[in-house]
Structure 1
Amino acid sequence: MGPRILVTGIAGAAGRAVAAQLAARGIPCLGSDARDVTRQGEDATTAAAVRLLPATDPDMVLDLRRLVDREAINVIIPTLTVELPVLAAARAGFGRDVRIIVGDPAAVALANDHLFTAWALQAAGIPVPRFGVPGDLAAAPASLADLNGPVVVKPRTFKGTHAVHLLAGTGSVSWKNLPAGQLVQEFIPGADYVALVFGTPPRNAMAPVAVVLEKTRTPYGRAGSDEVSRRVPAAEANDVRKLGLAAVRTLGLTGPVQVQIRRRADGTPVVLGVCPTLGANSTWAPELLDAVLATFMLPAFNPASFRRCPAIPADALG
């Protein structure tokens, strides 16, 4: 029996992109979203779409479970960042016959918070921008010495690119007046990439997948900042590819992951953030969805078997 697939976030760009890729493979899917999904227009990428409770609602998992039972769903592909921690925590409650393409709860929790991600990667020796939180910067202004020049201020949990702000400098900022839950990050001016990685357990039959995309260089928070200009050939940007793989392995993430990477002025790549789901950019890397579908047919692949790696693999940054 083939997979009966549910794609969440179908009203968004990522959900539509995943549904279109499934349709191109001749695989039907059901879509769901907390937003209005009644107006599909000319887009026939999904056979049907239903409205569910948002991830912030305590009964969202119950709502989703009822849909899964009613429609005999056996594969759930989440595309909304906000729902990943909820689905990771609830994954075991859906039974053995339902595969949710989301990582281990602890790893997803690390990736969901930009501060936790930076701490974990920095501790493992993975290069990240210099960073801090407004409370620490207000209490110890001397720590701003490492954040001279432009800085990025963004929520610790993803709230869209409109919530990310680029500041020309730190001299006139009142850190104590910034809202809670913000991360201050050194601005990295160089080439902008996203490494699309499908992480697999070390002793699994599937090899990890890593595809590098180069993004259009536009200011933070502006429309088009996530547009992809090209898929980087395998012979190029190998250091970016290895860094993406190392970040995924270090955090212990499973399945599809987007790793945001930029180069410093000297060319060194650093990890800006990690999102463990298929995004709209997956259209450029059909290998990612192929790997997702392969997990349905490969019982040996068990996302729960992934655990945080205590050190960077020996060849990860070589």
Structure 2
Amino acid sequence: MAYRSFKILVSSAGRRVGLIECFRRAARALNIDIQILACDLDPDLSAACGVADRAFAVPAYSHPEFTGRLAEIARAHDVRLLVPTIDPELVPLAAAAGDFAHFDCRVHVSTPPVIDVVRDKLETMRVLDAAGVPVPRTGMLEEVRGELSRWDWPLFLKPNAGSASRSISMVRSMADLPETTAEPMILQQYLDGPEHTVNAFVDDGGTLQSVISHRRLRIRAGEVEKGVTERHTAHRAMAEGILRALPDLRGAFCFQVMDDRLTGPRVIEINARFGGGYPLVDHAGATFAQWLLEEVAGLPRTVHDDWREGVLMLRYDAAVFRG
């Protein structure tokens, strides 16, 4: 059945105005009518909720009623596609995706085993390494604390389940390591070189259709502020390796690569969702939002890997006004 009109729900919408605009542009290209609903903990203070057609308040992703409230909204408003935007909500939404499917709503999320891996940075490194994908040396802080004389300094310290560059720091010696931590932390080999985000799209049949890299020229709060698209055969090979390691990965995802000057490129983490820099990808011609709408609407597929290299994104602050 082909849908020519349906609703999308963007969860944890926050500042993802650019993502909403990409979906609206995709709908115009496909000549379908969509309404975009958005939700957040406090929708009155969310720019994306401000530009959506309707907005709703929901509990935090850690609340036991989080997915139930989203399902309530989706069912009441005939939502056909739910798009998560932050890593922590992927675990509860992956577990609940089958409940949404009962009323014909697709959650843009991979299976729980995939999400369990990508939300655990140490496990991600282990799984990718076993699949032959190059990764940096990584270990749990408490497990390797006593053997760090065999590691090369400096190192990166980060939460094992962190996101958005939260609580990341460089440590140059044992004296820089905290004695206690509020959450499990990993230590990772320091990599020195350009950083890239590699965005990829896997169709609903499990085929890797497009891989597009952008070099992160400047970062703010964990998101690319200035970036330029580049084509790297090594990054494509890494994406293929990730899919071999995680064959149930679906839809849009991205991974971070450090092109170390000595060891070459290494994957440092995976985000199984639309990345914060996706508007650059979309503008360069890798229109993941459109391809996802084609799948949900039952329309002919236009997926390709013919995007434009050298597209530069320069982000700036804008405002949504109320009242």
Q: TM-score, normalised by structure 2?
A: 0.80
1:285: which partner in 2?
A: 281
* C-alpha separation in 1, matches of 2:251 and 2:48: 31
Q: Would the alpha carbon gap of residues 217 and 144 (structure 1) be closer, same or farther in structure 2, given more than 3 Å must change?
A: farther
2:122: which partner in 1?
A: 115
1:18: which partner in 2?
A: 19
Aligned-partner residue type, residue 165 of structure 2:
T
Greater shift, 36-45 or 99-108, is seen at: 36-45
Contact 1:261–1:270 (CA<8 Å) still a contact in 2? yes
* C-alpha separation in 2, matches of 1:172 and 1:165: 13
Q: CA deviation at 1:72?
A: 1.1
Contact 2:10–2:36 (CA<8 Å) still a contact in 1? yes
Contact 1:115–1:183 (CA<8 Å) still a contact in 2? yes
**Is 1:164 equivalent to 2:168 in the alignment?**
yes
Contact 2:9–2:81 (CA<8 Å) still a contact in 1? yes
Q: CA deviation at 1:124?
A: 1.5
Contact 2:43–2:50 (CA<8 Å) still a contact in 1? no
Q: Would the alpha carbon gap of residues 257 and 144 (structure 1) be closer, same or farther in structure 2, given more than 3 Å must change?
A: farther
1:193: which partner in 2?
A: 196
Q: CA deviation at 1:227?
A: 2.8
Q: CA deviation at 1:257?
A: 0.7
1:97-139, CA deviations, whole angstroms, 9 ceiling, x for partnerless residues? 111110011011100110110111111121101111111122x
Q: CA deviation at 1:95?
A: 2.7
Q: Would the alpha carbon gap of residues 261 and 20 (structure 1) be closer, same or farther in structure 2, given more than 3 Å must change?
A: same
Contact 1:135–1:176 (CA<8 Å) still a contact in 2? no
**Is 1:87 equivalent to 2:93 in the alignment?**
yes
* Stretches of structure 1 lacking an aligned partner (at least 5 in a row): 302-318
**Is 1:250 equivalent to 2:253 in the alignment?**
no
Q: Would the alpha carbon gap of residues 184 and 300 (structure 1) be closer, same or farther in structure 2, given more than 3 Å must change?
A: farther
Contact 1:199–1:245 (CA<8 Å) still a contact in 2? no
1:314: which partner in 2?
A: none
**Percent pairwise identity:** 20
Tell me, what secondary structure is at the counterpart of 1:28? strand
1:216: which partner in 2?
A: 217
Aligned-partner residue type, residue 254 of structure 1:
R
Aligned-partner residue type, residue 82 of structure 1:
P
Q: Would the alpha carbon gap of residues 249 and 283 (structure 1) be closer, same or farther in structure 2, given more than 3 Å must change?
A: farther
Q: Would the alpha carbon gap of residues 41 and 251 (structure 1) be closer, same or farther in structure 2, given more than 3 Å must change?
A: closer
* C-alpha separation in 2, matches of 1:207 and 1:125: 18
* C-alpha separation in 1, matches of 2:143 and 2:60: 33
Please give the root-mean-square deviation of Cα atoms over the aligned residues, in Å: 2.6
Q: CA deviation at 1:28?
A: 2.7
Q: CA deviation at 1:177?
A: 3.0
* C-alpha separation in 2, matches of 1:245 and 1:8: 29
* Stretches of structure 2 lacking an aligned partner (at least 5 in a row): 29-33, 302-323
1:230: which partner in 2?
A: 228
**Is 1:148 equivalent to 2:155 in the alignment?**
no
* C-alpha separation in 1, matches of 2:233 and 2:47: 41
* C-alpha separation in 2, matches of 1:109 and 1:283: 27
Tell me, what secondary structure is at the counterpart of 2:279? helix
1:294: which partner in 2?
A: 294
| Bigger fraction of residues in strand | 2
* C-alpha separation in 2, matches of 1:115 and 1:224: 19
1:131-150, CA deviations, whole angstroms, 9 ceiling, x for partnerless residues? 11111122x32x542x3122
* C-alpha separation in 1, matches of 2:228 and 2:86: 24
1:172-207, CA deviations, whole angstroms, 9 ceiling, x for partnerless residues? 244653444101101111110011011236x66x65
Aligned-partner residue type, residue 163 of structure 1:
S
* C-alpha separation in 1, matches of 2:59 and 2:129: 36
2:61: which partner in 1?
A: 55
Tell me, what secondary structure is at the counterpart of 1:129? coil
Tell me, what secondary structure is at the counterpart of 2:224? coil
Tell me, what secondary structure is at the counterpart of 2:72? helix
Equivalent residue pairs, number: 286
Contact 2:164–2:222 (CA<8 Å) still a contact in 1? no
1:4-48, CA deviations, whole angstroms, 9 ceiling, x for partnerless residues? 110112123xx32211212334443000112x2124679863112
Greater shift, 169-178 or 185-194, is seen at: 169-178
1:146-180, CA deviations, whole angstroms, 9 ceiling, x for partnerless residues? x312211111112432411122x233244653444
**Is 1:270 equivalent to 2:266 in the alignment?**
yes
